[in-house]
Structure 1
Amino acid sequence: MRRVCLTLPTHRACAGTIAAVGEEAAYGARQFGVEVHLLVLDSSPAPALAEHRKTVAALPPSPGVTVHHLDEGEQRAFLREVTVRSGAEREGQDRLLELMLPSRVSYGACTNRAFLLAQALGCTSVHRRDSDSRYQHLDGEPVFPLHQELTYLGQRADDVRGSATRSKLPPGTGGRRITMAGGSFVGEMSVDVAEIRDLDPDTYRELIGLSIPDGYPEIWRGHLIDASFRGAGDTAFDGDRTTLAPVSPMRVDMCNIALDHEVYRRVPLPPATDTIGSDYFLIHLLHDARMPGVQHNRHIVNFHTAERRTDAGFLAYQLRFAKFLLSKTYLNAVYAQTAAAGDALLDAEGHLRACVVAGFVRDSIGLDRAENARRLDVLDRAYRRLGGRYATVADTLAGRRSRLLDEARDDMADFALLMDRWEALTRASAEAGPGGVPPVTAGHRPAVTR
């Protein structure tokens, strides 16, 4: 039986989202006859964690669904076993564990943990949702992205070309399998970025413009700036529409994504801490390698938790946004190389060549830090121009200037290191099997031992 992993990483209270994703898991098992492993990776504070345990325990048993709810201690125990099995030296084990489960927020690392756990569970794909997400409804029924993900993922592109609303496959790629399916979000754009846009549209365009690679014609730069952080707008779902093509990272969101195991068992995501957007790397890579994907319109409804509207949540997000803009200096250099490589990113079997990608990441580490120093200057002037609590952000960035410059470079070095060890880690996870990932209750169908 086909086995898939529907995962929800979280570090904040989201009991409602857990219950909703539980419904999606039951839908997938019921409609597609697959075995769905619902994996909640929980780094929340104790009160939220306790509430989540109650919510998970209260999920109605559903045939074909196995629920796993792992706190950080349980995740660490699994990762420790995997790093030992991978053959890494003791010092290397500690370093890998730090990259996989850092003490700070890491969007890439939490998804990497899901990748390894999915390998242990014997799943053929990972389907990711986020804690600040809800589902759209049509005729009173929730619109689950899992429907399109399970329909297309892993299929040969030419075999499903006729069932897609439209096809934009590059010549010669129809024989490749669909490795990604994704949609975007509707509703609120990022609350803090939206506030910058409302306060000063010119400053907003200046800051977002830092994320766009050099060399784009001005008209295209403007289009990309306008499209950034906007998702799919406010269009309500009124029926399925799908596009079969290499999917642009601008058209999908990581709260609404599914990846085939042939992708994530070869290349991980950057484990950068406190950096938004760091988990989009594989989408860029698959697009540049001309791998078929499916872009669908089962968009998730975005909302912002109460924490995002506090002063502490505001400052945390702005610092992650600043680190994102610094990371783009390095990532855009990598993406320029992956775009130029194209099909050379794939081996004879059509799989990603991790060693090639790691080489591009290493090339970026030596970039002159002067560009990021300039970016910090732009950020400083922009935040001081905005005033109010943005001036506090400017002061914080100024006090961490040297550290931020170091971290942006070191994050790429860490990524290269993790990539070197990644295939050993995914093999070790598969060898460890599901025994280290027990189901929550006996009421749910237990994981099948391989």
Structure 2
Amino acid sequence: MKKYINPKKSDWLKILARPTQSFEAVEPVVNEVFKAVKASGDSALATYTEKYDGVILSDFEVTQKEIEEGSSKISEDLKEAIQVAKSNIEKFHAAQKTDRVEVETMPGVECWQEKRPIQKVGLYIPGGTAPLFSTILMLAIPAKLAGCDEIVLCSPPDKQAELNPAVLYTAQLCGVTRIFKVGGIQAIASMTFGTETLPKVYKIFGPGNQYVTVAKQWATKFGVAIDMPAGPSELLVVADDSANAAFVASDLLSQAEHGVDSQVVLVSTSKTLIKNVEEEIIRQVDDLPRKQIAQRAIENSRLIYVEDDETALQIINEYGPEHYIVCVENEDFYIQNTVNAGSIFIGNYTPESAGDYASGTNHTLPTNGYAKQYSGVNLDSFMKSMTFQKISKEGIQNIGRSVELMAEAEGLQAHKNAVTLRLKELKTSPLERGKSAKADRGV
């Protein structure tokens, strides 16, 4: 890991740069695949699945028999662990439900807001070096709670043209309606346009590598929404002498093992802690099955020493980490003043792994600094807010003149006329004529 001691503020952006390719380098490949899938459908999917995943497939949809066979390979202990995670995630996301908001803004003018589910959603579940069945819990559970009609899942097949058994078991457990053995750019393109086999969806969710991230953003050019730009995983830990160096090192390595393009950062006000964490990383990494991946990710990572909490906080908010661990004596200062982070983990006994799997919060989070403007996935991500208004005769008389004046000022005469006609009709109605006659007589 590269070490920096009291870096100048002018160097922060360079120091905190993510190890990602530019979109310009990735976009030509994404554009090529999108054009092919749009034009050739399943045929293009077969071509790119063979090219990128090394398998030949003619049927992409997972059958019920495959789901049952895959589920039978899962140990009872793992099934129980998944059930525990499912329960916690359901509890946390169900608590996010909100009631209808209703207001009478003025007499006779009723306005309200209701939330309705997005009917068709697509879930992308990374495979590659680590089949992330936990991501299914994070996406399918809130989709089901929201009431989405169609929940489509795409994940890349292994060399045997199969999906990981845990992926199949978790998908069925959480209510996924259709499962497909399609990965990478071609999966995002297929959910964008639809093919002979795969349905088009309205919104695509899920993390992925840089190609998947750009593909999701490319999908928005064709009217499909996405959850957020979620690329290679990242973690920032802020720690001082109150932190356990072994714990901090384990957290940094837990993110580093995601992929060679992952990044981990330690910001500390203690040189002693930084030294101890370095030693622990060297000690712990040797025991990891994914040692080579973790070591390459560590090369992209940073150890930053600063003299005070205020400077540390400025660096953290500038970075905007996806995952953020606060392990300091003065934790309230950081918790209250951090404004840019995806998900926050507090204290020596709150590993980021807990949020990745089973605490209940969602692990699909904004990366690459997008925590400055995006939220992580939540129940509302699978819903849209719709507003309603109902105006009575009394209401249109109360609000009408204001609308007429504003429409006229903008030069939109038809807008004004839509109100004027109604007001005139009310003035000439028998009821209004009776009221007017009474007024004239002073009644």
| TM-score class normalised by the smaller sequence | under 0.3
Which structure has the bigger radius of gyration? Answer: 2
Please, what TM-score do these two structures have when normalized by structure 2?
0.22
